[in-house]
Structure 1
Amino acid sequence: MREICVIGGNRYFGKRLIERLLDLGDRVTVINRGSSAPPAGVTHLVADRDDEDSLRGALGSLTFDVVFDQVCYTPRQADIARRVFAGRTRRYVMTSTVEVYEYEHSTAPVLEEAVDPLTVQVDLAAPWDDASYREEHYGEGKRQAEAVLARDPAFGYVAVRVAHVLGGDDDFTGRVDHYARRIRAGEPIAVPAENHPATYVYVEEIADFLAWTAGQEFTGPVNANAYGTLTTDDICAAIEREVGGKAEFLPVEVGEISPFSFARSYGMDNACAAELGYTFRHSAEWLRQAVAETLGSGEENR
């Protein structure tokens, strides 16, 4: 029986990850601030991951085979985690993001080497505790968090760079609903004048992939995304089948755009995951189901 620690993970694909680990027979410890209860069957520790003493105190003498960090957003958080979990785990899996590639402008799907954490400059003195700053620098925060964990590693480190996630009736982002509301009401949907496609991943599949990494030995960054990019049109077409109506797009040069439209390419190459032994499905295989689940009509389309 493996000892697994999950930092965060109380919602969306983190919740599904915990369920899969329990199904595999792992003993799971969940650490969060106590604002929400974790799934049944786990050991629950309450701590502030931004407070090193709080985290150490909650953990006591516990050690783990694998730690999953679902809520590491800044280099400062990674720095604390690196110190606290040094000697406590052999493997540390951080949930990262496609947004680490925000400075890459190639239209070709990007490989992991496009962002080498060892070359990323880290600024621990930046105002990472400020929520608005953290939100505005989301991709950069993840890049720097990866860099902290990659340098002079205290354990085997993995950064799972997750594509935009779709599916589930508990999608808290509101992005699919954003489109559904506008399509129902016949309201225009703002998109950039040159709207680029992006890679996505099904919520159930990213949970599967994360659980799979627990039993692997590879380290470093790995892209996690379905085969096949999706455009705003593709996603809206799936929504139209559920709610009726027709999407009306409004190209804009400046100003706010809809959540699944991009002024630059967000395509990732998942060849590394395939070489390691995990094959993602094509987005066309699950897109309709993912949208139906989020809009509450998933059962009738199964």
Structure 2
Amino acid sequence: MSEFLVIGGSRYFGRHLVTLLRDAGHAVTVLNRGSSAPPPGVAHLAADRDDEPALRAALGARSFDAVIDQVCYTPHQAAVARRVFAGGRAGRYVMTSTMEVYDPATFAGPRAQAPAGGMTESSLDPLRRLPRAAAAAAARYAGDKRRAEAVFLREPAFPYVSVRSAHVLGGAAQDFTGRLAHYVERIGAGLPVDVHEAPYATSFIHHREIARFLAWAAEGTFTGPVNAASHGPLTVTALTGTVGERIGRAPRHRIVADGGQASPFSFDRAYALDNGRATRLGFPFGHTDAWLPGAIDETAPPR
């Protein structure tokens, strides 16, 4: 039996991750600020992970075979974690990162040409200083994730994995961003969906699949960045087409002008993910065609 710590694992797909680990026979502890209780059979620690003394006090002398950090958003949080879990207190450290670290719109300068098969892990070196983009929320989020990854890579303190997750989708209870609901509601109401004239495909993963992936990464021995995405990237028009089929109403698309604000998942640049490294390591990804219809059905109101 292994000892796992999940930081911030009481909501959305994190809760499913915790139950997967528990049901696999591991001893699981969840650490958060105390706002959400973990599932039965799971230990709970309360601390603000930004407060290093409080985090150390909550952990005491405990060490873990693996730490899965779902809420490492900034380089400060990464630095705190690196110091706290150094010295053998984490057998491996799995950070939930994001595909947005690759987004060429979130750093200044000319946009790099994406590889034909999608972004590989080597497409981004977090240790290379990138010019900062404008202070939009998306750019800050992506930049902070890149810099958080760099903290762990610059001064290694334990075996480290960064899971660069595709866009996570699921049913209504798991769609915490509301982006799938945006399409279901607008198409269901007959309202137009704003899209780019020639949108690029992007990558997705089901909320249960990313939970399985994180559990697999925590139990593994590989290190470094790894992309997590279902097979089958989708353009926004393919996504709206599937939504329309499931709810019985054809989508209406409205083309936005260059620089205009499009709907979620409509992109004017390429940065879909190549999931080849994880596949070669043995993770069996599903296909978006297999789970997207069910996710839409769970999001749509009963007819």
TM (norm. structure 1) is: 0.90
Aligned to 1:279: 284
Question: How much does 1:295 deviate?
Answer: 2.7
Q: Deviations over 1:182-210 (max 9, x none)?
A: 11221111112331110111111111111
Tell me if 1:10 matches 2:14: no
Aligned to 2:109: none
Cα distance in 2 between the residues matched to 1:168 and 1:107: 31
Equivalent of residue 257 in structure 1, options 237, 243, 262: 262
Equivalent of residue 128 in structure 2, options 102, 107, 119: 119
CA contact (8 A) 1:75 1:122 kept: no
Aligned to 1:224: 228
Give 1:77-116 correspondences, 5 Å limit. Answer: 77-87=77-87, 88-103=89-104, 104-106=112-114, 108=116, 109-116=118-125
CA contact (8 A) 2:127 2:154 kept: yes
TM (norm. structure 2) is: 0.90
Same amino acid, percent of matched pairs: 51
AA paired with 1:29? Answer: T
Q: Secondary structure at the match of 1:208?
A: helix
CA contact (8 A) 1:134 1:141 kept: no
CA contact (8 A) 2:11 2:36 kept: no
Question: How much does 1:136 deviate?
Answer: 4.5
Give 1:126-137 correspondences, 5 Å limit. Answer: 136-137=139-140
Question: How much does 1:153 deviate?
Answer: 0.7
Tell me if 1:155 matches 2:155: no
Tell me if 1:205 matches 2:186: no
Question: How much does 1:143 deviate?
Answer: 0.6
Q: Deviations over 1:39-63 (max 9, x none)?
A: 2221111101111111111111111
Flag the 1:257–1:241 CA change in 2: closer, same or farther, 3 A. Answer: same
Cα distance in 2 between the residues matched to 1:9 and 1:191: 34
Cα distance in 1 between the residues matched to 2:147 and 2:139: 14
Question: How much does 1:122 deviate?
Answer: 11
AA paired with 2:16? Answer: R
Cα distance in 2 between the residues matched to 1:66 and 1:295: 37
Q: Deviations over 1:218-272 (max 9, x none)?
A: 0000000011111112221222233222211111123321112112123111110
Flag the 1:159–1:120 CA change in 2: closer, same or farther, 3 A. Answer: farther
Flag the 1:81–1:18 CA change in 2: closer, same or farther, 3 A. Answer: same
Aligned to 1:127: none
Aligned to 1:128: none
AA paired with 2:127? Answer: L
CA contact (8 A) 1:196 1:262 kept: yes
Cα distance in 2 between the residues matched to 1:165 and 1:293: 15
Dislocated runs of 4+, deviation >2 Å? 117-123, 132-136, 241-244, 293-297
Please list every run of 5 or more consecutive structure 1 residues that lacks an aligned counterpart in the other structure. 124-131
AA paired with 1:238? Answer: T
Tell me if 1:25 matches 2:25: yes
What is the root-mean-square deviation in Å for CA atoms of aligned residues?
2.0
Question: How much does 1:7 deviate?
Answer: 0.5
CA contact (8 A) 2:184 2:296 kept: no
Alignment length (residue pairs): 290
Cα distance in 1 between the residues matched to 2:119 and 2:50: 32
